[in-house]
Amino acid sequence: MRLRGAGGRLLPQGVLLLLLGACNVLSLEIKASPKVRAFVGEQALLKCSFKSSSPITENLLVYWTYRPLDGGQMETVFHYQSIPHPTTVGKFKDRVSWVGNVANGDASIAIQSPELSDNGTFFCSVKNPPDVYHNIPQTVLVVTERGLSFQLTSATLLSILVFLPSIIVVILLLVRMGRKFGMLKEKRKGGYKKSSIEVSDEPEHTERTGCCGKLGAWCLNCVDTDEEDPY
């Protein structure tokens, strides 16, 4: 079957194949996590999902390939066709498990006991005939020690440099205010002290009262002894 263009002329076979290929590209879409962080010795989950315009059959194929961080040769680490087929050779031997479900469009796998040498890029590929043309997403695996997993970003570092001096100044002001408040409380506990005038007035009043009392008694004695008896 040959297609005709707008002018009624037959289209070249190459152009026809290109148009058919463009339709197939849009019929199967694959999505994967662009970056996955994992810790040494702990399971790493590599998610991959797909959408196909054709019904899922036993002919569906899932391929996972891996390329080392240093850009070495690519190797197949897993493939699925009706049943899972983990790799039996290479560095990922007996360490890749199937956690997907093709009926739900899930083609995810898990890496058991990841190591620092596993850092690299994984590629998820799905073919569901007649849908075989699709994008090939990449997932970068970053494996670190759990104690070294914390990394300061530029925004976090800037926030620390800006707010840390302010926090220190506030703490110093609070400590200074607390010391002043403590000194005021100590002064109040000392009580009210009388002035020197009030202290000196009380003994003078007592002394004068005592002198007058003694003088009055002496005067009475003088009158009694000097008075003559008329008889």
pLDDT surpasses 50 at 219: no
Length of the chain: 231
Q: What is the pLDDT of residues 124-152, one digit of tens each?
A: 999 999 998 888 999 999 999 987 545 55
| Token pair recorded at residue 111 | 């890496």
Query: Under CATH, which number does the domain 21-147 receive?
Result: 2.60.40.10
What average pLDDT is seen over the chain?
A: 77
Instruction: Say what the pLDDT of residue 224 is.
Output: 47
How open is the CA angle 178-181-184, to the nearest 5 degrees?
155
Which is more confidently placed, 120 or 3? 120
Report yes or no on whether pTM surpasses 0.85: no
Give, in order, the Cα–Cα distances in Å from 169 to each of 25, 70, 80, 158, 182. Answer: 62, 48, 62, 18, 20
Which is more confidently placed, 156 or 112? 112
pLDDT surpasses 60 at 72: yes
Rounded Cα distance between 118 and 150, Å, is 19
Rounded Cα distance between 33 and 64, Å, is 13
Q: What is the pLDDT of residues 15-67, one digit of tens each?
A: 444 444 444 444 789 999 999 999 999 999 999 999 999 999 999 999 999 99
Instruction: Say what the pLDDT of residue 7 is.
Output: 52
